[in-house]
Amino acid sequence: MQARGPLMIEHRLIERMLANVKNLLVQVGQTQKIDPLLVDKAVDFIRTYADRTHHGKEEDILFRDLNNKELSEIDRRVMNELIEEHLFGRKTTKALVEANTRYRIGDSSALGDIVSCLNTLVDFYPKHIEKEDKVFFPASRAYFSETEDQTMLAEFMDFDQKMIHEKYKSVVEELEK
């Protein structure tokens, strides 16, 4: 397997989650209400899996290693766009959390903000994923030897093994505050 393989497999799970969010948005359209716990689950998935786990491998390993290569102007531009898109996803998710908090304490006007944030994420991620899968990952593979690619794949696996410990350490620390 090439190093980009796990990243593309993760994209498929993110797409499945987005399909669930789309279904949730249909229900909200019919009922004009939302279960804040379902929003919490979506946020947890986005923050832990899509951002920290998936984007973490991209930013902390792939992009780091690519920064040591002489990228073409186009590939450097696309990598910088992807970094900006990751920041956009984080900002949108933060706004979603804030809206869900307001909704949870009785601010019914926050429902529109929740729906807006969820729609933004549902629209954003497929385009972002397509750019990575069809443009950036194939282009970036050319910068690595087979040995470098397999070393990166091994580092991805090490990164994943640490994630569950990082996640639940932060849960305990948050509860201790």
DSSP letters, 104-173, are HTT-TTHHHHHHHHHHHHHHHHHHHHHIIIIIIHHHHHTTS-HHHHHHHHHHHHHHHHHHHHHHHHHHHH
Q: What pLDDT, on the 0 to 100 scale, is given for residue 165?
A: 79
Q: What is the pLDDT of residues 7-40, one digit of tens each?
A: 999 999 999 999 999 999 999 999 999 999 999 9
Q: Which of 1-15, 134-148, 161-175 has the lowest mean pLDDT?
A: 161-175
**Token pair recorded at residue 41:** 């689950």
Lookup result for tokens 């498929």: 12
Task: Output the CATH code of domain 4-167.
Answer: 1.20.120.520
Boundaries of every domain in the chain:
4-167
Q: What is the pLDDT of residues 61-104, one digit of tens each?
A: 999 999 999 999 999 999 999 999 999 999 999 999 999 999 99
Task: Label residue 146 exposed, middle or buried (CB < 10 Å: 0-12, 13-18, 19+).
Answer: exposed
Comparing CA positions, the residue from 167, 131, 145 lying closest to residue 58 is: 131
Q: What pLDDT, on the 0 to 100 scale, is given for residue 173?
A: 85
